[in-house]
Amino acid sequence: MAEAKSSPASEPTRRDMLFLATGAMGAAGVVALAVPFVRTLAPNAQTIAAGAPIEVDLTPIPEGQGIKLFWRGKLIFVRSRTKAEIEEAQKVNLASLPDPQADSARVKPGKENWLVIYGSCTHLGCIPGGSAAGEVRGDYNGWFCPCHGSHYDTSGRIRKGPAPTNLPVPPYAFLSDTKIRIG
Amino acid sequence: MSGPSSYVPKLGIAKWLDARLPLPRLMYDSFIAYPVPRNLNYFWTFGGILMLMLVSQILTGVILAMHYTPHATLAFTSVEGIMRDVEYGWLMRYMHANGASMFFIAVYIHIFRGLYYGSYKAPREVLWILGVIIFLLMMATAFMGYVLPWGQMSFWGATVITNLFSAFPIVGETIVTFLWGGYSVDNPTLTRFFSLHFLLPFMIFGVVILHVWALHVTGQNNPTGVEVKAVAKDTIPFTPYATIKDAFALVLFFAFFAYFLFFIPNYLGHADNYIPANPAVTPAHIVPEWYFLPFYAILRAVPDKLGGVLLMFAAIAVLVVLPWLDTSKVKSMSYRPLARQCFWAFAVTCVMLGWLGSRPAEGIYVTLSQLFTALYFAYFLIALPLLGLFETPKKLPGSIAESVLGKMKGGSGAVVGAAASAEPNTKG
Ligand code: HEM
Ligand code: FES
């Protein structure tokens, strides 16, 4: 910079002062402006509002089968589990799981026959098959993701394949024996 | 490479303009008088082909954008409208969709040309890195373009690829939400992808200009890898020699393009993309477009989500540092007996990875993907760094002229290894 020549005593000049002040102001301005630009990419008010809670009637779901529904743009599985499926889910040795979680932590007490989970594979977001009768359910009788071969068990826990975590449980509550509210 | 400008404006108006904005001079020096090595082969015509493919994509893209509706409920129908209702709409769309594939065929040949003849080595590192940036921008553009018709493959391709970013710890989920503008791939995702798909090709255009600028500073490499020593002996003017060769290759390439366009326009696509996007059902077998397959295979070779994503990005990042990984001073593989075999093994590796990327990720395919992923990286991280130290290269020709005309006429009798001594260059 110029100061080496213009002020041999290397004393800051007024131009240095101006340079620093302008630079700092400019940098602060760029950062302040970047924030609104990036914020525009976030989910907008309408998308967030579409996340209002929904109620689901469970009566039409036959035992051993499930339904799919959307909440907040995300797919949710609701499955009516058979006795055998519940037992299978409960007696697993937790230490053997990639993402250890007891079945009891994934269902509501006394309502073990209802499993409510997000339906997007935790690997890269495909929809695992196994909800409807006749779909491939994988090695653990739950769900199977065709994209890269993740196997989920009857509790929606990852057992085999590239997916890192279990299918998460969305926030929901039982309103009555046959009705839940998601959200 | 090009010395002082030899442009002499003849017309009065040309003189007038030359004193104010020497654009004709720039064109003359870059595309008429520009000296090119006299021994270039047809692999050097792909740069020009790429330039025209970019123009073709922009022309057809601008037309498509006039008839296309970027909305989740209308996009698919509007593309079908282009195919059925717009006059020659089918031609524009097929040119654009197949054009993307042709663009990638050309760029892969162009890249492998550079790998074989050592065009990434000094003094062309910046030129090479600009090329890698263009390649990255092309991949981003093609990925987002493929989302626009909003078919099943569009939707699930977008879902899988955007979800890659969720692998990053802590910030991953936020990044993905900001990419989507929601909680899943949906209308906000489509509209922002459309906007970016429109913008990126023009950014590519900008980087191409830098790429050509860098090329005209260092000059072209050539099949011997020996730098130009005497412009008068080793080079010929761009026009007419390179112009006609480029034009001829271009016509052949477009004939190849036309075959796909008019006879098998859907051969490189996926039938599933003619089914409208359905967020509740994933197609049984989702695969990306062919040009992404090798990288997809690397992604799936790793059983760990984050590991797979990192390795996939590393597969491209390694190209950026390649100029410093290859320790040999000899550029052209024609003079490197061992490296040359490794190069061909590498080429086969890439094809195998491409094939594996199209197979389901199970059983033997996973094992093979891992093997070939290891070989892919071994080429850059083991073979090239070590070979430069151990390999004895063949004797290089003394000059480009000597390699073409024989020792008598061109002979300057330079020794092996002189390849690295580039002629000092002045301006672009
Ligand atoms: C680097 C250059 C480009 C590449 C590699 C590229 C690639 C693609 C691809 C692969 C598709 C999907 C085609 C399909 O399967 O239907 C597509 C669609 C589209 N592109 Fe591009 N594109 C480029 C430039 C452009 C430009 C410059 C525009 C606009 C100015 C544009 C506008 C569109 C539109 C409107 C669509 C949707 C219609 C359709 O699917 O055919 N593209 N692009
Ligand atoms: S998305 Fe389900 S296994 Fe990859």
Q: What is the pLDDT of residues B225-239, one digit of tens each?
A: 999 999 999 999 999
Q: B286 — contact with chain A (CB < 8 Å)?
A: yes
ipTM: 0.84
CA distance B428 to B408: 32
Q: Do A70 and B179 touch (CB under 8 A)?
A: no
- Active-site residue identified among A148, A168, A177, A183: A148
Q: Are B246 and B123 in contact (CB under 8 A)?
A: no
Domain ranges (residues) in chain B: 1-33, 42-286
- Which pLDDT value is given to residue B413? 43
Does residue A151 carry a catalytic annotation? no
CA distance B131 to B322: 12
Element holding A35 (H helix, E strand)? helix A14-39
* Ramachandran angles phi, psi of B393, nearest 5°: -75, 160
Higher pLDDT, A149 or B414: A149
What are B362's two structure tokens?
């199970």
Ligand 2 pocket residue status of A147, Cβ below 6 Å: yes
Q: Are A158 and A164 in contact (CB under 8 A)?
A: yes
Supply the residue whose CA is at minimum distance from atom 17 of ligand 1.
B145
Q: Is residue A153 part of a domain?
A: yes
pLDDT beyond 90 at B285: no
Which residue of A38, A72, A120, A148 to mutate against B (max B Cβ within 10 Å)?
A148
Q: With CA atoms as reference, report the closest residue to B219 among B343, B331, B385, B339.
A: B331
- Which pLDDT value is given to residue B303? 79
Same domain membership, residue A135 and residue A108: yes
pLDDT confidence band for B419 (50 / 70 / 90)? very low
The closest-lying atom of ligand 2 relative to the alpha carbon of residue A124 is 1
Q: B85 — contact with chain A (CB < 8 Å)?
A: no
- Which pLDDT value is given to residue B425? 41
Q: Which amino acid is at A60?
A: P
The closest-lying atom of ligand 2 relative to the alpha carbon of residue A150 is 3
| Exposed e or buried b per residue across B298-315, where buried means at least 16 C-beta atoms within 10 angstroms of its C-beta | bbbbbeebeebbbbbeeb
Distance (angstroms) between ligand 2 centre and the Cα of B160 equals 8
Contacts of A147 in chain B (CB under 8 A): 156, 160, 282, 286
* DSSP 8-state class, residue A104: G
- Which pLDDT value is given to residue A9? 63
Supply the residue whose CA is at minimum distance from atom 3 of ligand 2.
A148
Q: A42 — contact with chain B (CB < 8 Å)?
A: yes
Q: Which residues contact B143 (CB under 8 A, 6 or more apart)?
A: B157, B161, B292
Q: Is residue A174 part of a domain?
A: yes
Q: Is residue A9 part of a domain?
A: no
Give CA B285 to chain center in angstroms: 27
- Which pLDDT value is given to residue B360? 84
HEC per residue, chain B: CCCCCCCCCCCHHHHHHHCCCCHHHHHHHHHCCCEEECCCCHHHHHHHHHHHHHHHHHHHHHHHHHHCCCCCCCHHHHHHHHHHCCCCHHHHHHHHHHHHHHHHHHHHHHHHHHHHCCCCCCCCHHHHHHHHHHHHHHHHHHHHHHHCCCEHHHHHHHHHHHHHHHHCCCCHHHHHHHHHCCCCCCHHHHHHHHHHHHHHHHHHHHHHHHHHHHHHHHCCCCCCCCCCCCHHHHEEEHHHHHHHHHHHHHHHHHHHHHHHHHHCCCCCCCHHHHCECCCCCCCCCCCCCHHHHHHHHHHHHCCCHHHHHHHHHHHHHHHHHHHHHCCCCCCCHHHCHHHHHHHHHHHHHHHHHHHHHCCCCCCHHHHHHHHHHHHHHHHHHHHHHHHHHHCCCCCCCCCHHHHHHCHHHHCCCCCCCHHHCCCCCCCC
CA distance A13 to A33: 30
Could you give the C-alpha distances from B413 to A172, B40, B163, in angstroms and in order?
A: 83, 21, 58
Same domain membership, residue A151 and residue A61: yes
pLDDT beyond 50 at B414: no
Q: Which long-range contacts (CB under 8 A, 24 or more apart) does B103-107 make?
A: B103/B50, B103/B53, B103/B54, B103/B57, B103/B138, B103/B142, B104/B138, B104/B142, B104/B290, B104/B291, B106/B46, B106/B49, B106/B50, B106/B53, B106/B253, B107/B46, B107/B50, B107/B134, B107/B135, B107/B138
pLDDT beyond 90 at A7: no
Q: Is residue A177 part of a domain?
A: yes
Same domain membership, residue A109 and residue A35: no
CA distance A90 to A72: 30
CATH number of the structural domain spanning residue A155 = 2.102.10.10
Residues flanking ligand 1, CB < 6 Å:
B 54, 57-58, 61-62, 64-65, 68, 79, 93, 96-97, 100, 103, 138, 141-142, 145-146, 148-149, 197-198, 201, 204, 269
Q: With CA atoms as reference, report the closest residue to B49 among B100, B107, B93, B91.
A: B107
Q: Is residue A136 part of a domain?
A: yes
- What is the mean predicted confidence (pLDDT) over B312-339? 97
| Exposed e or buried b per residue across B93-115, where buried means at least 16 C-beta atoms within 10 angstroms of its C-beta | bbbbbbbbbbbbbbbbbbbbbbb
Q: What is the pLDDT of residues B10-31, one digit of tens each?
A: 899 999 999 999 999 999 999 9
Q: Do A73 and B186 touch (CB under 8 A)?
A: yes
pLDDT confidence band for B417 (50 / 70 / 90)? very low
From A38, A43, A146, residue closest to B183, measured CB to CB: A43
Same domain membership, residue A126 and residue A153: yes
- Which pLDDT value is given to residue A8? 57
Q: Is residue A1 part of a domain?
A: no
Same domain membership, residue A158 and residue A71: yes
CA distance B396 to B415: 7
Same domain membership, residue A99 and residue A146: yes
pLDDT confidence band for B302 (50 / 70 / 90)? confident
Q: Which residues contact B189 (CB under 8 A, 6 or more apart)?
A: B147, B158, B162, B179, B180, B181, B182
| Exposed e or buried b per residue across B344-374, where buried means at least 16 C-beta atoms within 10 angstroms of its C-beta | eebeebbebbbbbbebebeeebbebbbebbe
CA distance B413 to A161: 62
Q: What range defines the domain where residue A112 resides?
A: 53-182
Among the bound ligands, the one closest to the CA of B205: 1
Alpha carbon of B172: minimum distance to chain A alpha carbons (Å): 12
Of B74-88, B298-312, B326-340, least confident by mean pLDDT is B298-312
pLDDT beyond 90 at A6: no
> By three-state DSSP, how is residue A41 classified?
coil
- Which pLDDT value is given to residue A158? 95
In this structure, whether the domain defined by B42-286 belongs to CATH 1.20.810.10 is answered with yes
Q: What is the pLDDT of residues B147-162, one digit of tens each?
A: 999 999 999 999 999 9
**Using alpha carbons only, what angle is made at residue B337 by residues B331 and B339, rounded to the nearest 5 degrees?**
60
Q: A51 — contact with chain B (CB < 8 Å)?
A: yes
Residue of A nearest to B359 (CA): A148
Q: Do B304 and A162 touch (CB under 8 A)?
A: yes
pLDDT confidence band for B418 (50 / 70 / 90)? very low
Contacts of B165 in chain A (CB under 8 A): none
**A95 CB neighbour count, 10 Å cutoff:** 6
- What is the mean predicted confidence (pLDDT) over B183-191? 95
Ligand 2 pocket residue status of A161, Cβ below 6 Å: yes
Residue with tokens 């601008």: B62
pLDDT confidence band for B408 (50 / 70 / 90)? low
pTM recorded for the entire structure: 0.89
Q: Are B357 and B287 in contact (CB under 8 A)?
A: yes
What total of structural domains would you count in chain A? 2
Q: Which of B49, B63, B64, B191 to mutate to test the pocket of ligand 1 (most atoms within 8 A of CB)?
A: B64
